[in-house]
């Protein structure tokens, strides 16, 4: 069954390349999101929301380092590839800041909306990559991606909680 083996080898190489390309995409996204989180922290009305953005900035920094470890485990140099989806979501963050009043809770409701779109994009990406990683020879990678995924989900939940606790009501009451 030599031909089949050769075929499997090709598939594995193609899969490796494909996976690395997706890593480059999310690596770019994490790096640029950090800039977005800085902007969101500065723009937030509530100190609590500003602190949440600060916290996720630090988490994103660690996630970036984890991605670098994954590149290394795959025998690759960390490289970025522009992620058009994240670029668009970060443009929406800027538009949200432009379209809402400074020091208002509508601003914060808007920032939460924009930030949750980002988190859901990350959840989708890491969820799929984690599932694909089961087929990589380095079994550790799946667990590392699962760790990042759990962090993104927690961030999303924290944002929902803040919206429900006070931000949305303050935004609606004015």
Q: Which residues would be at the binding site for Fe ion (CB under 5 A)? A: 60, 63, 122, 152
What long-range pairs does 9-15 form, CB within 8 A, spacing at least 24? 15/135
CB of 63 to Fe ion, least distance (A): 4
Residue among 158 and 170 whose Cβ is closer to Fe ion = 158
Closest to 34 in 3D by CA, of 109, 122, 136, 162: 122
We find the least distance from the C-beta atom of residue 16 to Fe ion, in angstroms, to be 23
In the complex, minimum distance from the CB of residue 77 to Fe ion, in angstroms, rounded to a whole number: 21
Residue 102 is encoded by which pair of tokens? Answer: 């400074």
Nearer to Fe ion, 36 or 106 (CB): 36
Question: Which alpha helices (DSSP H) does 44-104 contain, by range?
Answer: 47-73, 84-99
Q: Which is nearer to Fe ion, 20 or 26 (CB)?
A: 26
> Least distance to Fe ion from the beta carbon of 170, Å?
24
For residue 42, CA distances in Å to 36, 46, 98, 108, 128 come to 10, 10, 13, 11, 32
**How far is 21 from 27, CA to CA, in rounded Å?**
10
Q: Which CB atom, from 37 or from 106, has the smaller least distance to Fe ion? A: 37
């Amino acid at each position: 069954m030599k031909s089949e083996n050769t075929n499997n080898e090709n598939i594995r190489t193609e899969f490796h390349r494909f996976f690395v390309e997706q890593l480059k995409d999310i690596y770019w996204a994490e790096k640029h999101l950090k800039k977005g989180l800085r902007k969101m922290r500065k723009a937030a009305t509530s100190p609590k929301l500003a602190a949440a953005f600060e916290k996720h900035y630090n988490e994103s920094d660690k996630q970036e380092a984890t991605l670098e470890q994954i590149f290394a485990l795959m025998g690759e140099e960390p490289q970025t590839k522009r992620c058009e989806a994240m670029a668009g979501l970060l443009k929406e963050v800027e538009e949200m800041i432009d379209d809402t009043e400074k020091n208002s809770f509508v601003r914060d409701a808007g920032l939460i909306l924009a930030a949750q779109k980002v988190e859901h994009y990350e959840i989708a990406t890491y969820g799929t990559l984690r599932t694909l990683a089961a087929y990589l020879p380095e079994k550790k990678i799946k667990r590392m991606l699962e760790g990042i995924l759990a962090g993104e989900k927690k961030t999303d939940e924290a944002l929902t909680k803040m919206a429900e606790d006070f931000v949305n009501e303050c935004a609606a009451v004015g």
